[in-house]
Amino acid sequence: MIFKIPYNNDSELLLYIWKVIDLPNISMNELVYKISFELFLLSPEEALEFLQRSIKSNSLEKDDNSNLQLPQNSYKKLKTWQLKRKEIILTKLNSSRKFDSLIDDFEAEKSSNFNTLLKSFLDKGTINRAATISNDAFKIDIFDFKKGLIKAHVAGSKEKSYNIEIDTKNKIIHHNCHDFETRRAINKKFCKHLARIFLLLKEESDCIKFLNDIAENINEWEFSS
């Protein structure tokens, strides 16, 4: 975990130190030692001067045992930051678990018809990249096998979104991400977005029908942007 050290702001520097040491209180000598010889932020003289200045400005206070502690408002700010950090870490952890689960499910079902079909359109590593795209990145506009049509938008890495159109009647896959346009389309392969949309729609009964149509009539299909 990397923090930018706010040397030009005493109260922010103090909060930064408490984020690292994560103690309710500490003696003056111990804190000087930590600042100087564990965190290497200031010399002992500078650390002592900084702490005395912080006490004088009420950015730091002494408890009943003369140990140093953050005042209540700063302590609340620290706790709020810790809760936000916890939420971010848990979100990343859950995302990582979903990624692992998606890969495990795909590997465990290699023998299934759906996965066999999908894998035939993927180059090595595409499924790993597909797993990093969240469900929320997709907006499914049309999914109708009777019309032979899937239309969707997917958020890109920048502000723009990409279009996806799969038309079984006209045998056309339209998609406009750079990887598909420059590498995948010419070889009639799926990029991570196309792989992910089929994984997203996997539980729909008609999803495999789209894959079957593409696989069985691949020479008739046009892959283009």
Same domain, 116 and 220: yes
Residue that finishes a domain, picked among 108, 125, 154? 108
Query: What tokens were used for 147?
Result: 């019309």
Do 137 and 195 sit in the same domain of this protein? yes
Residues 196, 125 share a domain: yes
Contact 193, 180 (CB under 8 A): yes
Q: How many CB atoms lie within 10 A of CB 72?
A: 9
- Which of 49, 82, 108 terminates a domain? The answer is 108
At position 141, the amino acid (one-letter code) is D
Q: Is the pTM of this model over 0.85?
A: no
> What are the pLDDT tens digits along the chain (225 aa)?
445 678 888 888 898 898 888 888 999 999 999 998 888 888 999 999 999 999 999 989 999 899 999 998 888 888 887 788 777 766 766 666 666 666 656 555 544 578 888 989 998 888 888 888 888 899 999 999 889 999 999 988 777 889 999 999 999 999 999 999 999 999 999 999 999 999 888 877 788 889 999 999 999 999 998
- Per the structure block, which two tokens stand in for 112? 């299934």
Residue 205 is part of which domain span? 112-224
